[in-house]
Structure formats: C-alpha cells, structure tokens
Amino acid sequence: MTERCDPGGAAEGRRRSAGRSVRNRQRAVAATRCGRSNTGATSKRIRMGSGNGGMVSQFGMRLVFGLSLLWAVLPREQISAGFFRIQCLVVLGLGVLASLAFGVGDPTDAAWPAWWSRWAVWLAGGTAALGFVGSVLWTLQRRRGGAVCGGAILVLAASWLVLDAAAAGGGMPGVVGRAVNELLSGALLGGCVGSMLLGHWYLTAPAMSHRPLFRAIAVVGVAAAARLAYGVGAGVAGTDVLRSVLGQGAVTARAVWLGLHWLPGILGPLVMAVLAWRIMKGYGNTQAATGVLFVAVICSFLGEMSALLLQRDVGWPL
C-alpha cells in the first residue's frame, strides 16, 4: 500500500527549518558583536594602564631618564670624563632599543594615537643620537658640551615619559598620576644603575673623590623614599583596585607582582642605599659599597618590571 504525500506538512517543516536558521544567524551576530566589544574594552584597559609605549620601550626610556638625571646631580668636575663617555654609549644603546622595539608585539598598537606612534620613535631616536654626540664630546674632553648634551637627553627622555602618560588619556588627574609614576620609576632605576657603574669606575680611577659616590647613593635613597610615598598615595587613591588585587583570598599573579614591586622593588633599594652609605661612611670601601648597589640594581629591575606588569593588568599604578 502506497503512502500519500502531505504537502502541507512539508511546507511547515521548511518554515520551521528556516526559522531556526535565522535564529542561529542572529545568535552568531550577537556573539560576534559581544566579542568585539569585550576586546575593545580590554584593549582600552590595557592602554590606559600601560600608556601605549610597550614594556621594552617604556622601561628603556625610564632608565635613560634616570641616568641623565643622575648626571645632572653629580659633581661632574670631580669625575673623570671617561665615565660619562661610557654612560652616553649606554644611552645610545637604550635609545636605539626603545625606538626599534616600540609597538613590536604589543596588542594595543591599534589603540595608539597616531601622533604618539610617530613621536615616540623620533624622541627615542633623538636620545640615541644625542648619546652618540655626547660620547664624542666627552672623548674630546669637552665637558661643557657634554653637560649640555646630557641636559638635552634629560629633557627628551622626560618628554617621552610624560607624553607616553598623556597618550593614554583618561583626564588630567590620571595623566599627572601616570607621569609622576613614570618619572619616579626612572629616577629609581637610573639612580641604582648609575651609582653602581660609578662605584665600578673607582677601579680605573682609585684616586677620585668619594663625594660623587656619596651623592649617587643619596639619589638612590631619595628616589626609593619618593617611590614609597607615591605608592602609598596611589594605594589610597585606588583603594578599589588595591582590594581587587589583594582581596581574592588566594595567591594570584597580581598579588605576586604587587609584593615584588613593594618588597624587593622599593624597600630593597632603600635598605641597600642605607647600607652603602654606612659602608662608605665607616670604611670608605668603594667596592664593598658597589656590591651592595649591584643588589639594589637587581631589586629595582625586579620591582619595576613587576610594577609594569601589574599596571598593564589593572590599569592603575600601585
């Protein structure tokens, strides 16, 4: 016996199938839009926290600023010219690295302002060029020209850090807070590295006065104390962010980064500066003090890199 066809039932099945297809397409479009929105929010959060520079460029320019700031504070007439020549070559390398690494592998490159994408490379390249010119001037014993070149490097590096903070947007209070954070971080990094290299320089110039090393150690102590004060203020101003980092009831990556930033990163250089000062005051042993300052360099690098990671993740400099 042959079954009869049911045209009405077939048409109903086709309508149901078409309805399901339309609903599936609508769900897919909604999911895609949601994903794009979340991606944009994440990019904005990272951009607001990091300041667009990329960790390598940002870290390098902080170090350039700190080194050039230390040069401005040191009694240059009591230090042989060879020390500043080598320092300028260090700035040359850091400037080239910052200009080449800017934006490479950074997921926030699409969110950068166009003007900052250009100026960041030019400013970093300018510090590299001035580093080369400064090394030539110090080689020729042109102390005044070398000092002017060092001042120009300081201005360019400070401008890079301030503009990097401004490029993140977020209103004037946020820009000022991030800019102060960048400058204090650079002062601490450059103070530790520069004072450690100055201590090593006494191996080639043992008759050099101890006054420059005392002043360099004082710069490390003041920079660490200022970093500590800023960290306390940032923690008070960003109480909600601080709670989100510490109030999860478990050891998280954010909590580890915060601990590394505060304990070895800030308190470490502060303690090392006190120890180095006491060694120089009591024994006058430049190499013992240099060893202590080398520990301060390790602590500052560990702490500031952890602070950068935390800042990029939570969007607030703690």
How far apart, in whole angstroms, are the C-alpha atoms of residue 30 and residue 28?
Answer: 5
What mean pLDDT comes out for the span 181-193? 96
Asked which of 131, 152, 169 is the last residue of a domain, the reply is: 169
Distance of CA 127 to the CA centre of its chain: 17
Position 37 scores a pLDDT of 43
Position 317 scores a pLDDT of 76
Same domain as 150, residue 236: no
Task: Mark 208-244 as b/e (b = at least 16 C-beta within 10 Å).
Answer: beeebbbbbbbbbbbbbebbbebbeebbeebeebbee
Q: Give me 153's structure tokens.
A: 């490097």
Dihedral, 61, 65, 68, 72 alpha carbons, nearest 10: 170
Q: Which has more confidence, 38 or 126? A: 126
Q: Which has more confidence, 11 or 124? A: 124
Position 230 scores a pLDDT of 92
What mean pLDDT comes out for the span 157-173? 85
Domain annotation covers residue 10 = no
Same domain as 160, residue 183: no
Position 165 scores a pLDDT of 87
Asked which of 169, 190, 207 is the last residue of a domain, the reply is: 169
Same domain as 237, residue 165: no
Position 14 scores a pLDDT of 56
Asked whether the predicted pLDDT for residue 231 surpasses 60, the reply is yes
Domain annotation covers residue 240 = yes
Same domain as 232, residue 146: no
Same domain as 87, residue 176: no
Position 26 scores a pLDDT of 54
What's the number of domains the chain is made of?
Answer: 2
> Binning pLDDT at 50, 70 and 90, where does residue 124 land?
very high
What mean pLDDT comes out for the span 9-17? 57
Cα–Cα distances in angstroms (integers) from residue 78 to residues 74, 202, 290, in the given order: 9, 12, 18
Position 44 scores a pLDDT of 39
Domain annotation covers residue 282 = yes
How far apart, in whole angstroms, are the C-alpha atoms of residue 71 and residue 157?
Answer: 13
Domain annotation covers residue 159 = yes
Asked whether the predicted pLDDT for residue 8 surpasses 70, the reply is no
Asked which of 135, 169, 203 is the last residue of a domain, the reply is: 169
Are the beta carbons of 172 and 160 closer than 8 angstroms? no
> Binning pLDDT at 50, 70 and 90, where does residue 31 land?
very low
Domain annotation covers residue 304 = yes
> Binning pLDDT at 50, 70 and 90, where does residue 228 land?
very high
Neighbours of 309 (CB within 10 A): 19
Residue range(s) defining the domain that contains residue 310: 172-318
Same domain as 178, residue 316: yes
Position 27 scores a pLDDT of 57
> Binning pLDDT at 50, 70 and 90, where does residue 16 land?
low
Position 309 scores a pLDDT of 87
Average pLDDT of the chain to the nearest whole number: 83
Same domain as 102, residue 178: no
Same domain as 62, residue 181: no
Same domain as 142, residue 120: yes
Same domain as 301, residue 290: yes
What mean pLDDT comes out for the span 260-274? 95
Domain annotation covers residue 38 = no
| Full 3-state SS string of the chain | CCCCCCHHHHHHHHHHHHHHHHHHHHHHHHHHHHHHHHHHHHHHHHHHHHCCCCHHHHHHHHHHHHHHHHHHHCCHHHCCHHHHHHHHHHHHHHHHHHHHHCCCCCCCHHHCCHHHHHHHHHHHHHHHHHHHHHHHHHHCCCHHHHHHHHHHHHHHHHHHHHHHHHHCCCCHHHHHHHHHHHHHHHHHHHHHHHHHHHHHHCCCCCCCCCHHHHHHHHHHHHHHHHHHHHHHHHHHHCHHHHHHHHCCCCCCHHHHHHHHHHHHHHHHHHHHHHHHHHHHHHCCCHHHHHHHHHHHHHHHHHHHHHHHHHHHHHCCCC
Same domain as 308, residue 269: yes
Asked whether the predicted pLDDT for residue 307 surpasses 50, the reply is yes
Q: What is the CA radius of gyration of the chain?
A: 27
pLDDT in tens, 34-90: 444 444 433 333 343 344 447 889 999 999 999 999 999 999 999 999 999 999 999
Domain annotation covers residue 40 = no
Domain annotation covers residue 37 = no
Are the beta carbons of 134 and 160 closer than 8 angstroms? no
Same domain as 211, residue 160: no
